[in-house]
Amino acid sequence: MHTEEKFEDIIERELLQLSGYHQGNAGGYEPETALFPTEIINFIQTTQPTQWQRLANNSDAQKIVIDSLTKELKSRGMLDVLRNGFKCYGKTLRVAYFQPNTGMNPETLALYEKNRLTITRQVTIKTGRIPDILLSLNGLPIATIELKNPLTGQTYQNAIYQYRTERDPKDPLFTFKQRCLVHFAVDTEEVWMTTKLAGESTHFLPFNKGNNHGAGNPVGDNEEYRTSYFWLEVLQKDSLLDILARFLHIETKETKITTATGVNYQKKETLIFPRYHQLDVVGKLIAHTKQHKAGHNYLIQHSAGSGKSNSIAWLAHRLANLHDNHDEKIFHTVVVITDRTVLD
């Protein structure tokens, strides 16, 4: 296994060389807004020159755009803005373009190719702490990663402890929904994740492949770590953009609370990021169906509490929009038969 290079240097190098990333500039990060303003403006100028030209006559155009973006991130959240853009002077500006379901529109595909994923090491955030890695899309932060190497006496559990005790959930970078959508605790053996920092009560879920029908990850091939799949497969450009476009969603639950003064309703929002086995099963079924079309049977085994409902929903939505290599729709109707009322 790798012996000379540091763990974090290997991940950075492989993201840059193999997974479609660009090198980020820590100096371009603005702690107050938790954004990379220059990257954002460059993306808008490159992909939407007509809209930009209408704004460019104003000497404060860049500030106006970033101010408008910041306000909409606060009110609508990062995921909504990534998918639908934001308003500035009545015009919609896009901050990302996602892969279309078909290849029938070359212009849409060309815009998709202009997305820039960047990896930035050790940006200085408003509260003074420095995350190991910050991943951004066109200047908007989407994920942080804390890295630990068991060879130095620390594991992913130390990274989880760091997130719970040393990361301020009120820092602009960590504010729920408004900036980073997911946070990963990673070592050479395991990956864990959370979508919401809440101090000591922050809840992490495993993001592992499983090993021999148990927890953890199988031994890596050749020079790979057990967790190499994380940055070589999951964080690969097309994969991560697909997760942002088609998997992540906000789940809202309303609880009725009866008090002495009447009935109150408490709303709780949870940002759902797919776990590895969910990405794996949907990806495999979509790939097989795209090649072999309809008419096949499959069995998917999920253990209790492993997210069956979301896997069903993600798969149903993907099948409903699936086209073959000739851009022909494969399914015209998707029927889900279930006794799980939550799926209604």
Residue 248 parent element (H or E): none
Question: Residue 46 and residue 38: Cα distance in Å, rounded?
Answer: 12
User: How sure is the predictor about 109, in pLDDT bands with cuts at 50, 70 and 90?
Assistant: very high
Share of the chain above pLDDT 70, in %: 98
Instruction: Report strand pairing: 140-147 vs 182-186.
Output: parallel
Res 304: pLDDT: 79
Among 291, 285, 276, 273, residue whose Cα is nearest residue 312: 285
pLDDT at 344 over 70: no
DSSP H/E element including 286: helix 276-292
Maximum Cα interatomic distance, the chain, rounded to a whole number of Å: 66
**pLDDT recorded at residue 103:** 75
Which pLDDT score is estimated for 34? 96
Digit-coded pLDDT (tens) for 28-67: 999 999 999 999 999 999 999 999 998 988 889 999 999 9
Query: Is the Cα dihedral 195, 197, 198, 200 positive or negative?
Result: positive
pTM for this predicted structure: 0.93
Q: Could you tell me if 116 and 39 are in contact, meaning their C-beta atoms sit under 8 angstroms apart?
A: yes
Type of residue at 282? V
Round to whole Å and give the CA distance between 50 and 280.
40
Which residues pair with residue 192 across a beta bridge? Answer: 185, 206
* Average pLDDT value for residue range 73-99: 96
The Cα 44–Cα 93 span in angstroms is 7
CA-CA distance, 276 to 273, in Å (whole number)?
A: 10
pLDDT (0 to 100) of residue 307:
87
pLDDT tens profile 209-236: 999 888 999 997 776 899 999 999 999 9
13 φ, ψ to 5°?
Answer: -60, -45
pLDDT of residue 4: 56
pLDDT at residue 9 greater than cutoff 80: yes
Report pLDDT for 223: 66
pLDDT at residue number 2: 52
Write the DSSP symbol of residue 206.
E
Is the pLDDT reported for residue 114 higher than 70? Answer: yes
25, two tokens: 């500039």
Does residue 111 surpass a pLDDT of 70? yes
Confidence of residue 326 (pLDDT cuts 50, 70, 90): confident
Instruction: Note the pLDDT of residue 5.
Output: 75
Q: Percent of the chain at pLDDT above 90?
A: 76
Find all residues with CB under 8 Å of 54, minimum gap 6, and list them: 89, 91
pLDDT tens digits, residue range 266-322? Answer: 888 999 999 999 999 999 999 999 999 999 999 988 887 888 889 999 999 999 999
How far apart are the C-alpha atoms of 111 and 48, rounded to whole Å? Answer: 10
Q: Side chain identity at 44, as an amino acid letter?
A: I
Predicted pLDDT of residue 256: 81
Residue 12 neighbours by CB distance under 10 Å: 21
Contact between residue 322 and residue 286 where contact means Cβ atoms under 8 Å apart: yes
Mean pLDDT of 92-121: 93
pLDDT grade, residue 253 (50/70/90)? confident
Evaluate if residue 343 carries a pLDDT over 70.
no
212: left (phi over 0), alpha (psi -120 to 50) or beta: left
Q: What pLDDT sits at residue 196?
A: 97
Bridge-partner residues for 252, per DSSP? 269
The predicted structure's pLDDT at residue 259 = 80
The H or E element that residue 120 is part of is strand 117-121
Supply the mean pLDDT for the chain. Answer: 92
**DSSP, res 173:** G
**How far is 194 from 271, CA to CA, in rounded Å?**
9
Scored b (16 or more CB within 10 A) or e, 301-340 reads eeeeeebbebbbebbeebbeebbeeeeeebbeeeeeeeee
Contact 44, 53 (CB under 8 A): no
What is the amino acid identity at position 265?
A: Y
